Amino acid sequence: MAAPSPNVSPALFFDTVNAYQQTAAIKAALDLDLFTAVAEGKESAQEIAEKCRASERGTRILCDYLTILGFLTKQDDRYRLTPDSAFFLDRRSPAFIGGITEFLLSPMLTDGFKDLAGAVRKGGTVMSEEGTVSVENPIWVQFARAMASLQAMPAQLLTKLLAGESDHKLKVLDIAAGHGVFGITFAQENPNAEITALDWPNVLEVAKENAERAGVIDRYNLLAGSAFDVDYGSDYDLVLITNFLHHFDQQTCVKFLKKVHEALAEGGRAVTLDFVPNEDRVTPPDTAKFSLIMLGSTPQGDAYTFSELEGMFASAGFSRSELHEIPPAINQVVISYK
């Protein structure tokens, strides 16, 4: 066998093949509440093990691995949290996001990747006929409960982009509202906004709880049913379409967007938050990778480029669309005008 060139390496291959170990390590640390233990001052393997009710050997190996990954630091056999871990993975932090693994690692999502070659051959998920977009799929209740905290920042950025304050009443429809955070945040920033949240009945229960907690329930209406079938009503100033279009093929999206167009008042706006890759479909990486999730979990979903989204909105009757970045969020925003 020929000796490899010094400029080539199998490292990326092995890192990718073994990536499941990284997932297992972070899940184990969250299951053991390891990050919270370290945040409470348990810094040696023995102290952390006692707090987490685990073996010292297992704890030491896991902490070393988490240090290699960048979740912990280590000095003189004592472990400490990185700033990111302290902010996001200490259960006592208001920004704790560890709970989202209940959704992201749910078998209802990960099962779509057990036979990804089959999905590639088929051109869509092999889990079932409809995958995660089946009627009243319970995965969306998991999504609503797990992802609310993670969406707080994008919701604030989106509200700021839309100039949330207004001195006149605004009628807002939040489609596939899920946790409701986007509509709720808009209502919090604008006392004249009245929100209608549309989703499956079981998911709307989560949105209702969040609206009550946020103190906007008096301006928060529930509309249960399918976004493709239910009567939206009319004269909305804004229609929020957050993380929804990527689940469906373009023809289905256009049919849906025609309903949105009809529901808007003259001069109204449809506001789409989604993963919008560049035209090359490989940049920016975190956004572009989302296409693979859709391949594994939906029949024909995709991460659409702006030109594709612009074409869909135009076909549905919208006059123009604009693309906006909202850093540091990895999502992009498309604002389309009636």
* Confidence at residue 2, expressed as pLDDT on a 0 to 100 scale: 62
Among 172, 176, 204, CA closest to 190: 172
Gap between the terminal Cα atoms of the chain? 64
Beta-sheet pairing, 72-75 with 220-224? unpaired
The three-state secondary structure class of 110 is helix
Q: pLDDT at residue 6 above 80?
A: no
Confidence of residue 165 (pLDDT cuts 50, 70, 90): low
Q: pLDDT at residue 211 above 80?
A: yes
If one counts every other C-beta atom within 10 angstroms of the C-beta of residue 4, the result is 9
Which residues does 291 contact at the CB level (< 8 Å), separation at least 6? 277, 281, 302, 303
* Confidence at residue 219, expressed as pLDDT on a 0 to 100 scale: 96
Q: Lowest mean pLDDT of 142-156, 211-225, 306-320, name the range.
A: 142-156
Q: Is 5 exposed, middle or buried, given 0-12, 13-18 or 19+ CB atoms closer than 10 A?
A: exposed
Query: How much is the average pLDDT of 247-260?
Result: 97
Confidence of residue 164 (pLDDT cuts 50, 70, 90): low
| pLDDT single digits (tens) 120-131 | 999 999 988 787
Among 266, 278, 285, CA closest to 323: 278
Q: From CA 337, how far away is CA 94, in angstroms rounded?
A: 36
Looking at the chain, the whole-number percentage of residues with pLDDT higher than 70 is 97
230 neighbors 198 (Cβ within 8 angstroms): yes
Query: How much is the average pLDDT of 17-29?
Result: 97
Q: Lowest mean pLDDT of 54-63, 134-143, 155-164, name the range.
A: 134-143
176 neighbors 243 (Cβ within 8 angstroms): yes
If one counts every other C-beta atom within 10 angstroms of the C-beta of residue 231, the result is 9
Per-residue buried b or exposed e for 309-329, using 16+ beta carbons within 10 Å of the residue's own CB: bbebbeebebeebeeeebeeb
Q: pLDDT at residue 180 above 70?
A: yes
| pLDDT single digits (tens) 301-334 | 999 999 999 999 999 999 999 999 999 999 999 9
The domains of the chain are located at 11-95, 104-337
Q: pLDDT at residue 166 above 70?
A: no
Q: What class, spelled out in words, does domain 11-95 have in CATH?
A: mainly alpha
Edge-first strand order for the sheet with 236-242 is 220-224, 193-199, 170-175, 236-242, 264-274, 332-337, 320-325
Which residue in the block uniquely carries the two structure tokens 């301006």? Answer: 219
Q: pLDDT at residue 91 above 90?
A: yes
Q: What class, spelled out in words, does domain 104-337 have in CATH?
A: alpha beta
Confidence of residue 168 (pLDDT cuts 50, 70, 90): confident
* Confidence at residue 7, expressed as pLDDT on a 0 to 100 scale: 81
* Confidence at residue 1, expressed as pLDDT on a 0 to 100 scale: 60
Q: Is 299 exposed, middle or buried, given 0-12, 13-18 or 19+ CB atoms closer than 10 A?
A: buried
Q: pLDDT at residue 22 above 80?
A: yes
Which residues does 13 contact at the CB level (< 8 Å), separation at least 6? none
For residue 157, give both structure tokens: 């950025």
* Confidence at residue 4, expressed as pLDDT on a 0 to 100 scale: 66
